[in-house]
Amino acid sequence: MDGVDYLADERKKAEFDVEAMKVVWAGSPHNLEVSDRISKLVADDPGFRKDDRTMLPRKELFKNTLRKAAYAWKRIVELRLSEEEASKLRFYVDESAYTDLHWGMFIPAIKGQGTDGQQQKWLPLAYKMQIIGCYAQTELGHGSNVQGLETTSTFDPHTDEFVIHSPTLTSSKWWPGGLGKVSTHAIVYARLLLNGKDHGVHGFIVQLRSLEDHTPLPGITVGDIGMKFGNGAYNTMDNGVLRFDHVRIPRNQMLMRVSEVTREGKYKQSDVPRQLVYGTMVYVRQRIVADASCYLSRAVCIATRYSAVRRQFGSQNGGPETQVIDYKTQQNRLFPLLASAYAFRFVGEWLEWLYMDVTKRLQASDFSTLPEAHACTAGLKSLTTSVTADGIEECRKLCGGHGYLCSSGLPELFAVYVPACTYEGDNVVLLLQVARFLIKTVSQLGTGKQPVGTIAYMGRIEHLMQCRSSAQRAEDWSKPSQVLEAFEARAARMSVSVACNLSKFTNPEEGFAELSADLVEAAVAHCQLIVVSKFIEKLKQDIPGEGVKQQLEALFGIYSLSLLHKHQGDFLGTSYLTPKQAALANDHLRSLYTKVRPNAIALVDAFNYSDHFLSSILGRYDGNVYPKLYEAAWKDPLNESVVPDGYLEYVRPLLKQQLHTARL
């Protein structure tokens, strides 16, 4: 029945102040207020309805996304929303669209790489959406290796223009979101050719379509690259293909903040430090980590609520069956993901601080922390997106058969999230970058260069190489210091061990290639340590609200000890732990599941997600799952008629043994 809360009993069990936890999750009372207000605004507006999304054919789906994007912009203008509110609104509309790239890549690229003059010219147009831009970097043949891009931009001194060209098939731009059907402009990355000399990849502002009738300009071939994973998912986005046939643009449309081309065709570096691009990278990846906690928490919220609704087996004397959330196997899969969602939230929060710190230092020309900040954001991007993608799919499986229905919301969530493992740096490539940084750090130990930031623990290498866990009872694992030392010792030992194996190779690059799988494992150990240590730092803060800190402590234990169990081989293999101590950690982990169980529903309520945002019948706030699943089924297009289209042509002749005369 509508209006009844089927999960009320679960909510009564909570041992902490849910409203206070909402503030913790949101980051501040202000954040919570804005999020709550804007999410309700979106949820209550039928213009943002999304429950029919997985049933629409591509063209209708896309057209509807165009409508929503325009409507969102209209509402933003009408309501005079602040930048913060506008970005929240787009977030809660929750439909990938060309506007993501316009606001998230096109504008920031002009801000970061354009001169003051270029910014003055282009930004006002972009802010008012009088032009719509995308970010055309990736090509058919090159993604990870940006330096291998093939599109060329040749300076023509006679006309003071660049000639943008696609010399090969593989040089076709491929993937940029918003490019396929919408963008009027693009930042195009191309090799700068001056007088026959290749100056490497640079960015250029190129108009693609007429502002009058939207047709592609001469020399430009542009289109959509076709269907992607999932029903709705990223198919609301016009990821595009783009080819240039000697397209001319004025010289002043090269983004010239860092280096410029003069009227005479000379290449000049400006005095703006090149390291600035790292600042942008830190920013983008910090956003990705924040997104990871958001996507993972959505999936966990759905799976947790449904696990409390679903009952299976274990009926005694005709009573109700057991809620599946009460099974330890379910807890053992679900609760570590719940804990990970919180862990990623806190490490994301810390990354926001890191980004500000890096920006401040860059402005003061202090580049000393950049390598560490770069390695740390690369690693955390890789770690959190991989765990989130796998975690969403695990949550789907935790919902049993019904998780396979689109109305569960989980297939859509997986399909729309999973490219995060590939874009902005393939996750394995990023881990190898982290590994390089680790090896370099190890090689510099003892040279007097003190490791800083997230790698500071390497400064205590002698202790970390020799110490042994002092855990003697399961409860010893409730101490954060106990856990932290274990993760530090493991990470340090794995880095040192692989560095030691590397030193046996005469050619270091050959060694790096040969041992790359081990290097990746060392990098993962380091990244997990960062998350663990930032969670501990969070726990040291003053956290108001009855019982809130206790819950976070339990989640910290679950996050770290489930990792310790999963990677037991590392901890035992580096001889920091004995098998007995590892078993004690596992015993403690189990006891934490019991502790979190009564609070599970309240812990996902604290995310404060509306039913509109979750878009999942299984994850409904009120737990009224079965009647709503039943209702939703009848909305499928196949149910428009009782007898299906095709019955007369293809089923009846078969049943009537008249196939031989049928046209098939």
Site map (CB under 8 A) of a second copy, residues 438-477, x = contact? ----------------------------------------
Site for a second copy in 298-317 (CB under 8 A): 311-313, 315
Binding part of the chain for a second copy, among 47-55, 364-372, 441-449, 535-543 by CB under 8 A, reads 47-55
CA-to-CA dists, residue 209 to 70, 187, 226, 240, 249, angstroms = 19, 13, 20, 13, 13
Question: 248: which DSSP letter?
Answer: E
Query: Which region, judged by CB under 8 A, interacts with a second copy, from 69-77, 108-116, 157-165, 439-447?
Result: 69-77
Question: Of the candidates 30, 67, 274, 440, which one interacts with a second copy according to CB under 8 A?
Answer: 67
For the bound state, the minimum distance from the C-beta of residue 144 to a second copy, rounded and expressed in Å, comes to 6
Q: How many residues bind a second copy (CB under 8 A)?
A: 139
483 lines the binding site for a second copy (CB under 8 A): no
Question: Is residue 236 near a second copy by the rule CB under 8 A?
Answer: no
Binder to a second copy among 16, 25, 62, 342 (CB under 8 A)?
Answer: 62
Name residues contacting a second copy, limited to 510-549 (CB under 8 A): 513-518, 520
Given a contact cutoff of 8 angstroms between Cβ atoms, the answer to whether 437 and 429 are in contact is no
Q: Least distance from C-beta 158 to a second copy, angstroms?
A: 29
Which among 86-94, 248-256, 293-301, 414-422 is the span making contact with a second copy, rule CB under 8 A?
Answer: 414-422
Question: In b/e form, how buried is each residue of 14-26, taking b as 16+ CB within 10 angstroms?
Answer: bebbbebbbbbbb
Q: Is 639 in the site for a second copy (CB under 8 A)?
A: yes
Strand duo 152-156 + 267-269: pairing:
unpaired
Q: Compare residues 312 and 368 and give the one whose CB is closer to a second copy.
A: 312
Residue 434 CB, shortest distance to a second copy, in Å, is 13
* β-strand pairing of 133-136 with 197-207: unpaired
* Spatial separation of the C-alpha atoms in residues 292 and 609, rounded to whole Å: 15
173 in Cβ contact with 180 (< 8 Å): no
Residue-by-residue DSSP string for 477-507? GG-HHHHHHHHHHHHHHHHHHHHHHHTT-SS
**Shortest distance, position 479 Cβ to a second copy, whole Å:** 22
Kindly list the distances between the CA atom of residue 103 and the CA atoms of 106, 134, 253, 356, 490, in Å, as whole numbers in the listed order: 6, 9, 19, 20, 41
The nearer residue to a second copy, 419 or 557, going by C-beta atoms, is 419
Question: Do the annotations mark residue 138 as ligand-binding?
Answer: yes
Tallying the residues shown for the chain, one arrives at 664
Residue 418 makes contact with a second copy by CB under 8 A: yes
Q: Is 141 labelled a binding residue?
A: no
Range 112-131, binding a second copy (CB under 8 A):
128-131
Residue selected from 225, 242, 294, 341 as contacting a second copy according to rule CB under 8 A: 225
Based on the shown chain and the rule CB under 8 A, indicate whether residue 645 belongs to the binding site for a second copy. yes
Given the complex with a second copy, which of 39 and 138 has the nearer CB atom? Answer: 138
**Residue 217 falls in which region: left (phi positive, over 0), alpha (psi -120 to 50) or beta:** beta
How many other CB atoms sit within 10 Å of the CB of residue 579? 10
Residues marked active site are found at 424
Member of 142, 173, 202, 381 binding a second copy (CB under 8 A): 142
Cα(338)–Cα(50) distance, integer angstroms: 26
Residue type, 222: V
Task: CB nearer to a second copy: give 169 or 277.
Answer: 169
**Residues in CB range of 325: below 8 A, 6 or more apart:** 304, 307, 308, 331, 334, 597, 600
φ and ψ at residue 56, rounded to 5 degrees: -85, 140
Q: Which tokens is 469 given?
A: 């866990």
Q: Which parts of 312-351 interact with a second copy (CB under 8 A)?
A: 312-313, 315, 321, 327-329, 332-333
Binding piece for a second copy, criterion CB under 8 A, among 37-45, 80-88, 605-613, 638-646: 638-646
Q: Is 29 in the site for a second copy (CB under 8 A)?
A: no
Q: Which stretch binds a second copy (CB under 8 A): 12-20, 296-304, 356-364, 629-637?
A: 629-637
Among 91, 267, 423, 505, binds a second copy (CB under 8 A): 423
Nearest to 69 by CA among 103, 41, 40: 103
* Residue entry with tokens 């280096």: 259
| Known binding-site residue numbers | 138, 177
| Known binding-site residue numbers for FAD | 138, 177
